[in-house]
C-alpha cells in the first residue's frame, strides 16, 4: 500500500467507527431501551445544540461559553509554553538545572488539578487568574518533560557538526538543540492540551458564569442530560481540531522528521 493511501484508509476507518457508534446510540435510544433522562437520542442532542447556539443556555449562548473556555485554555497554554520550554531546556542541558527543576516537576506532575485548585483559589481569588493558573499548571509538566527529553537526545553528529563550524554555548542550544527538539515539544503541547481540557471543567466550577465546563455542570445539577452530552461532544470536537492543528503545524515546521 502506498504512503498516500494509508492516511486515507485510516481516515475511512475512523469515520466508519464514529458512524457505528452514533448508529448504535440512535438504535438504543430509538427503541426506547433507555430512559432519555439517562441517554437522550442523537436528534435531541443536535436540537439542543442549535437551541443553545441561538437562544443560549445558562444566560449565555453556546458561542459565548465556547469563547470563554477557549480564552482560558489559550492563555494557560501561552503561560505553560513560556515557562515550560525554558525549564525543559534547563533540565535537558544542565546538571544544575536538572537538579533544581526535575524534583519540582516530578512532584507536581502526578498531583490531580482538583487537589491544588482550592489552594490556588485561596492565593489568587476566584477570578479568571486562578482558572488560568490551574489549567497552566496541568499543562506545564508535559511540556517540560517533552522539551527536556528532546534537547537531551539530539544526535551527537549534529552537535559535533555545529561545533566544528564554530558554534558555541547559546548558539548550539538555540540553533541545534532547540530545532531538533521541536517535534518533541509539539508532542508535549498536544499532551498538554488534553490535560488542559480535562482541567478546564474543574477550573470552571469556581465562580464561573460562562464556559463549557460551567454549562455542563449547570445542566448536570438540573438533570438536563442532553445539554451535558452536547457540551461533552463540543469539547471533544474542539479538542480534536486542536490536535489536528498541532499535527499540521508539526508537519509544516518539521518536514524532516523521520527522514534524517
Could you tell me the residue ranges of all domains in the chain? Answer: 1-34, 40-253
What per-residue confidence (pLDDT) applies to 69? 93
Q: What is the distance, to the nearest Å, from the Cα of residue 145 to the centroid of all Cα atoms in its chain?
A: 15
State the Cα–Cα distance between residues 19 and 31, nearest whole angstrom: 18
Q: What is the mean pLDDT of residues 91-110?
A: 90
Q: How confident is the model at residue 165 (pLDDT cuts 50, 70, 90)?
A: confident
pLDDT at 260 over 60: no
Q: What is the mean pLDDT of residues 148-154?
A: 87
Residues 6+ away with beta carbon under 8 Å from 152 = 91, 92, 93
Structure pTM? 0.85
Q: CATH code for 40-253?
A: 1.10.3720.10
What per-residue confidence (pLDDT) applies to 115? 85
pLDDT for 46-93, tens place per residue?
999 999 999 999 889 999 999 999 999 999 999 999 999 999 999 988
Percent of the chain predicted with pLDDT > 70: 94
Q: What is the mean pLDDT of the chain?
A: 86
Cell of 162: 555545529
Amino acid at each position: 500500500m502506498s504512503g498516500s493511501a494509508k492516511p486515507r484508509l485510516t481516515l475511512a476507518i475512523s469515520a466508519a467507527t464514529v458512524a457505528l457508534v452514533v448508529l448504535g446510540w440512535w438504535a438504543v435510544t430509538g427503541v426506547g431501551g433507555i430512559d432519555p433522562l439517562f441517554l437522550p437520542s442523537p436528534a435531541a442532542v443536535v436540537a439542543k445544540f442549535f437551541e443553545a447556539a441561538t437562544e443560549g443556555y445558562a444566560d449565555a449562548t453556546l458561542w459565548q461559553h465556547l469563547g470563554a473556555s477557549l480564552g482560558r485554555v489559550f492563555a494557560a497554554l501561552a503561560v505553560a509554553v513560556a515557562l515550560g520550554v525554558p525549564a525543559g531546556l534547563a533540565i535537558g542541558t544542565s546538571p544544575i538545572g536538572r537538579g533544581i527543576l526535575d524534583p519540582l516537576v516530578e512532584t507536581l506532575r502526578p498531583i490531580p488539578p482538583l487537589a491544588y485548585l482550592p489552594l490556588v483559589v485561596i492565593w489568587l481569588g476566584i477570578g479568571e487568574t486562578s482558572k488560568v493558573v490551574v489549567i497552566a499548571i496541568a499543562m506545564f509538566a508535559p511540556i517540560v518533560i517533552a522539551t527536556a527529553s528532546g534537547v537531551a537526545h539530539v544526535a551527537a553528529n549534529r552537535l559535533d557538526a555545529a561545533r566544528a563550524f564554530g558554534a558555541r554555548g547559546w548558539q548550539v542550544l538555540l540553533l541545534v538543540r532547540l530545532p531538533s527538539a521541536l517535534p518533541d515539544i509539539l508532542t508535549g503541547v498536544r499532551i498538554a492540551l488534553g490535560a488542559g481540557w480535562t482541567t478546564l471543567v474543574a477550573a470552571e466550577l469556581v465562580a464561573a458564569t460562562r464556559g463549557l465546563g460551567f454549562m455542563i455542570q449547570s445542566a448536570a445539577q438540573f438533570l438536563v442530560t442532553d445539554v451535558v452530552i452536547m457540551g461533552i461532544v463540543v469539547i471533544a470536537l474542539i479538542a480534536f481540531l486542536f490536535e489536528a492543528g498541532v499535527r499540521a503545524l508539526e508537519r509544516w515546521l518539521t518536514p524532516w522528521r523521520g527522514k534524517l
